[in-house]
Amino acid sequence: MMDQDMRDRILAEPETLLEDRDVMNALIGANERLMGSNIVDLRGIAMERLENRLDRLEDTHRTVIAAAYENLAGTNQVHRAILQMLDPLSFEDFLKTMAHDVAQTLRVDCVRLVLESVQEAEDPTIRKLGDVLYVAAPGFVSDYLTGGRNVPQRPVVLRQVQPQSDAIYGERAGWIRSEALMKLDFGKGRLPGMLVLGAEDPHQFKPTHGTDLLAFFAGIFERTMRRWLS
C-alpha cells in the first residue's frame, strides 16, 4: 500500500505529478505493463510522438535564441570597432588604432591594410606607417582574393589561410590560420585595396559564416580611407 503521507500529498496537489515528465512517463509505462503485450496503446504512442516533437521544438527554440544573442553581440562588437576607427585625427594614429584597439575589439590577432600602388613599398614614408600597411603591386588584391583562379570576386571572403599569405602576414604567417578579406573601393580613378583580419583560430572565419556585418564594417572603412587618401 502507498504511504499515507505520500497519498495525502498527491491528493492535495495532483498537478505536481502532471508537471513532472519523468513521473508521468513512469506511470504510463506501468499502465502499459498492466494492459499486457497483446494490446497496443495508441494514445501512449501519440503522446510519445508529441513529446519527441516538443523536444525538437524546444531545441530549435534554444538554437534560435542563441543565434540571436550571438548576432546581437557581433553587431555591438562591430559598432564599437567602428567608433574606435573614427576617433584618430591622423593617418598614422588611424593605423595604430586598427592594429591595437580595433583588433582587440574584433578579437582578431592581426590586421592588415593592403593598398595597391606603383610606389615602391620600401619608401621611407611607407615604412614609417608601421606593419599594418602593406603596399602591393597593381593586381595583387584580385589575385589574393581569388587565389589566382578565374572565379567571380566577392566583396567579403572568409577562409583558412592560403600559402601565399606570407607576403601579407610576414613573421606572423606561421600562426595565422584563418582570415577575413574585404575588398575596398576607394573611388573612381583609384586602385583598389583590401582589409585583412587574421586569426589564430582556424575556425574563426569560415566560408559558411555570414558576412553582412563585415561588409558593413568594410563600407565604413572605405569611407574613412577616402578621407585620408584625398
- Break the chain into its structural domains and give their ranges: 89-229
Strand order in the sheet with 133-136: 133-136, 110-116, 193-199, 178-184, 156-160
Residue 196's pLDDT is: 94
Rounded to the nearest 10 degrees, how much is the dihedral formed by the CA atoms of 187, 189, 190, 192? 70
Residue 227's pLDDT is: 83
Q: What is the pLDDT along the chain (230 residues), one digit of tens a residue?
A: 667 777 777 778 877 777 777 777 777 777 666 666 666 566 666 777 777 787 788 878 777 776 666 777 778 889 999 999 999 888 889 899 998 999 999 999 999 999 988 765 555 555 546 678 888 889 899 888 887 677 777 889 999 887 666 778 878 878 889 999 999 998 888 889 999 999 999 989 988 888 888 999 999 999 988 888 77
CB 186 within 8 A of CB 160: no
Residue 214's pLDDT is: 92
Q: For the domain bounded by 89-229, which CATH number is listed?
A: 3.30.450.40
Helices (H), the chain: 4-12, 15-19, 21-35, 42-86, 91-97, 103-106, 124-127, 140-146, 166-169, 212-229
Residue 1's pLDDT is: 62
Residue 12's pLDDT is: 82
CB 143 within 8 A of CB 152: no
Q: In terms of pTM, does the model score above 0.75?
A: no
Element containing residue 184 per DSSP (H, E): strand 178-184
CB 32 within 8 A of CB 40: no
Q: Which backbone phi and psi does 191 adopt, to 5 degrees? A: -70, 150
